[in-house]
Amino acid sequence: MQHLKRFTGAVAALALGGSLLVGAVATDVEAQEQRIRWKMPIAFASKLPGLGAPSLYVAEQLKAISGGAVEVRVYEPGKLVPEFDILQAVSDGKVEAGYTWIGYDQGKVPSIPLFAAVPFGMKPWAYTAWYFYGPGHDLLQEVYANKGFNVHAQLCGIIGPETAGWYHKKITKLEDYNGMKIRFAGLGGKVIEKLGASVTMMPGGELFQALETGTLDATEFSMPAIDQILGFDKVAKYNLFPGWHQPFTAQYMLINGDQWKKTSEQHKALIRTTCTAATLMGLSEGEYKNGAVLAGFQAKGVQNDLIPTAVLKELKKVSDSVLQEEADKDADFKRVWAAQQEFMKTYSIWDARAYLQSDL
C-alpha cells in the first residue's frame, strides 16, 4: 500500500512537472512570437537632421523601451532597397518596414503628396493637428488601400519649410523658370513644369555633382541644416526663400500590412508613441539648427534672397490650378484636399489672430 502511495505521488508530481514545463514552453513560444525583428530601409541618410535622423531615433527608442523585444534594423539609402522603391518593397513584404517621404510615390498614389508636402499649404503644427485630431491618419490608410497597397502608415517625422531651392541665377520673374533644368519634388514639381521648367527627380546624394557640372541649373532638397551637409552652398550662390512648395515636409514609417495585423496591441501602441515622439524631435532639431546654418551661408557669400512677392502670388495661382486639376482626376485626392481645406477654414481664424506676424 505504501509503495502504491509513493507511486501515485510520483505520477502526480511528474504530471505537475510536465504541466509546468508545457506551460513554460508555451510562455516562451508566446514571448518569441511577440518579438519583432524588422528590416527598415530609409530614404534619407540617418545623418541628415530632422529628415533621416528620426529613423534612428525610432529604432533606438523601440529597442530601449521594449527591453529588446522590438528591434528595427535601419538600412541606409540604397543599401537594401532603392530610395524610391520603399513603398513597393514594404507592400510586397520584401521588407517589414520602411522610412520615407511618401510624396515620391505620387505616380502610384496620386493623392499621397497631400500627406507629404502641399504648395502654399499648412504649417507643420497645423498639419499634425489635422493628422492626429482630424481625419488625416485614417484617410492615409484608406488611400493606400484604395490603390491596392498592403501597408500601415504612421506619421514619424516632420520638418518646417524647405528653402525654395539653390540657383545659379536669381528668380526675379515667373518667366525665369522657363527652360530651367531643375530637381523638384512632389506637387511643387508639377507647378514649375507648368511654367516651362524641365523637372527631374534625383536622390539627394546625386545632386551636388549634378549642380556642379551643370546637369542641373537649380535644385531644391530640404532645409538649410540639410542642404549644407550636401554641399549646395559650395556650388550655387543663390538660396531662395520662402519654401512655398513645401511649408511642411512629413516622413512616415511604412509597415507591411500583414506584419502590422499580427503585431500585439502593446507593440502597436509603442510604435505609435515612438513615432509621435520622433515627429516632435525632428521638427525641433530643424528649428534649432537652421538659423545658425543660414547665418553661416551669408558669411560664405551665399545670397539668402526672397522670391519677389509678385512672383509668389503668381506661383500661388498656378499651384491652386494644379491642385484643382489633380482633384478632378482622382477621387481620393479630391476627398483629402477637401478635408484639408475644411480644417483650414477655422484654423486660419486662429492662426491669423493667435501668432505674432513677422512684419511687425
What is the residue extent of each domain of the chain? 36-344
pLDDT on residue 16? 44
Phi then psi for 226, rounded to 5 degrees?
A: -95, -45
Query: 331-354 and 136-146 helices cross at what angle (nearest 10)?
Result: 160
Cell digits for 266? 502593446
What is the rounded distance in angstroms from the CA atom of residue 183 to the CA atom of residue 206? 11
Q: How far apart are CA 120 and CA 244, in angstroms?
A: 5
pLDDT of the residue at 261:
97
Residue 5 CA neighbour count, 13 Å, CB half: 2
Grid coordinates standing for 187? 506637387
Phi, psi (deg, nearest 5) at residue 70? -120, 115
The stretches of 84-200 forming alpha helices (DSSP H) are 86-91, 124-133, 136-146, 186-194
pLDDT for 124 equals: 97
Work out the burial of residue 193: count CB atoms within 10 Å of its CB; fewer than 13 is exposed, 13-18 middle, 19 or more buried: middle
Please state which CATH number belongs to domain 36-344.
Answer: 3.40.190.170
Q: Where does residue 184 fall: left (phi above 0), alpha (psi -120 to 50 degrees), or beta otherwise?
A: beta
Q: What is the pLDDT of residue 214?
A: 86
Q: In angstroms, rounded to a whole number, what is the distance separating the alpha carbons of residues 33 and 111?
A: 36
Look at residue 34 in the predicted model and tell me its pLDDT: 78
Query: What single string gives the DSSP state of each residue in 193-260?
Result: HHTT-EEE---GGGHHHHHHHTS-SEE--S-HHHHHHHTGGGT--EEEE--TT-S-EEEEEEEEHHHH
For the chain (360 residues), the mean pLDDT of every run of 10, in chain order, is 44 43 39 80 96 97 97 97 96 98 95 97 97 98 98 98 92 92 91 92 84 89 93 92 95 98 97 98 96 90 91 96 97 98 96 80
- Write out the H or E segment, with its range, that includes residue 154: strand 151-159
The model's pTM = 0.88
Whether the Cβ atoms of residue 207 and residue 216 lie closer than 8 Å to each other: yes
Do 149 and 109 touch, CB atoms closer than 8 A? yes
By C-alpha distance, which of 198, 187, 192 is closest to 171?
192
